[in-house]
Amino acid sequence: MGLKEKIIQLKKDKNAVILAHYYQTADIQDVADYVGDSLGLSQKAAETEADIIVFAGVHFMAETAKILNPTKTVVLPDLKAGCSLADSCPPEAFSAFIKKHPNHVVITYVNCSAEIKALSDIVCTSSNALKIVESVPKDVPIIFAPDKNLGKYIMKKTGRDLLLWDGSCIVHEAFSIDKLIELHKKYPDHKIIAHPESEEHILNTATYIGSTSGMINYVKKYPQEKFIVATEAGILHKMQQEVPQTELIPAPAHEDNTCACSECGFMKVNTMQKLYDCLLNESPQIEVAEEIRKKALLPIERMLELSK
């Protein structure tokens, strides 16, 4: 039996569900029960009846699943699957920042630790960030963390002044505008689509800006078009399955790497073997201290409620 078949069998035997992010490798996406973005994955985690959740993604995502499912076993294939954006917002410094700016509503992007969520009023994802910000009365000041690029994009779209935390994602900041312009000169018929974690100069070139799900829906809507895709390159697998005839090119990164595109090293530490091992051994498990979990649950529930 191959590894894929062994994982599927073990999943059945243990009543487990595999939730995978679009940035996972293609083989992991293909064995998952559900592939999605942070919002979709949180929604699936909230409604699952499985006993074990295998989270093929990064630590903060598995943590969100555990916050929503305290009695279930949540495993992550590799604990080293972290996130530069989540790391850019340490709880002590963020707590001091909030204290310095009282009376602000604290909205945090889901890419942050449980401790940061516990300090927040509402969580959001890139799918619902605009809606969540607009749900706050106009005269109430807002702190937005940790992603400054997404924050700037929301400010531009809503006209609201947000107090931004200075955090960012190394992957989305790795796109090279010079190389992108060069690439677009070579393929002028390709439309550029981008994730709002990208820097402003990249977003300014884009025909469409949206979450990973939003980007997939956009290319499905215009299958006759061709696209240059500015987000982590793992998304191309699912996107290409949805629009097999459409030409898709990953946006180029500053650094030269094997695929000449942007890959998240954190996402890619997960492998099929680690996925199998973590399901077999039910380890490493994600735990969240109950006091933090309860506080972090409220802003996540507010988000899920507002996203219905």
Bond prior to 146 in cis (omega within 30° of 0): yes
Terminal Cα-to-Cα distance of the chain (whole angstroms): 41
Is-contact 124 132, C-beta < 8 A?
Answer: yes
Nearer to ligand SF4 among residue 50 and residue 112 (C-beta): 112
Among 40, 203, 232, 239, binds ligand SF4 (CB under 6 A): 232
Q: Which residues contact 74 (CB under 8 A, 6 or more apart)?
A: 52, 53, 55, 62, 65, 66, 285, 286
Q: Is 83 in the site for ligand SF4 (CB under 6 A)?
A: yes
* Residue list 19-38, contact with ligand SF4 (CB under 6 A): 23
Residues 172 to 231 in contact with ligand SF4, rule: CB under 6 A: none
- Which span (5-13, 81-89, 119-127, 157-165) binds ligand SF4, by CB under 6 A? 81-89
The SS3 assignment for 184 reads: helix
Stretch that binds ligand SF4, among 135-143, 166-174, 178-186, 211-219 (CB under 6 A): 166-174
Q: Is 212 annotated as a binding residue?
A: yes
Cβ proximity to ligand SF4: between 167 and 299 the closer is: 167
Q: Is 112 annotated as a binding residue?
A: no
251 binds ligand SF4 (CB under 6 A): no
Token look-up 């963020």 returns 94
- Our CB check for ligand SF4 shows the closer of 170 and 260 to be 170
Task: Give CA–CA dist 81/85, Å, rounded.
Answer: 12
Kindly give the pairing relationship between strand 162-164 and strand 142-145: parallel
Residue number with CB closer to ligand SF4 (21 or 302)? 21
For ligand SF4, which is the closer residue by CB, 136 or 170? 170
Q: What is residue 38's three-state secondary structure?
A: helix
Rule CB under 6 A: is residue 39 a binding residue for ligand SF4? Answer: no
**50 or 264: CB nearest ligand SF4:** 264
Characterize the bridge pairing of strands 34-36 and 16-21.
parallel
Return the number of other C-beta atoms located less than 10 Å from residue 205's C-beta: 17
Which of residues 84, 113, 125, 212 is near ligand SF4 by CB under 6 A?
84
Cis amide leading into 223 (omega within 30): no
Dihedral sign computed on CA atoms, order 207, 210, 216, 222: negative
Residues that bind ligand SF4 (CB under 6 A): 23, 58, 83-85, 111, 169-171, 232, 264, 266-267
- Extract the annotated binding site for iminosuccinate: 21, 38, 109-111, 126, 195-197, 212
Annotated binding site for [4Fe-4S] cluster: which residue ranges? 83, 169, 264
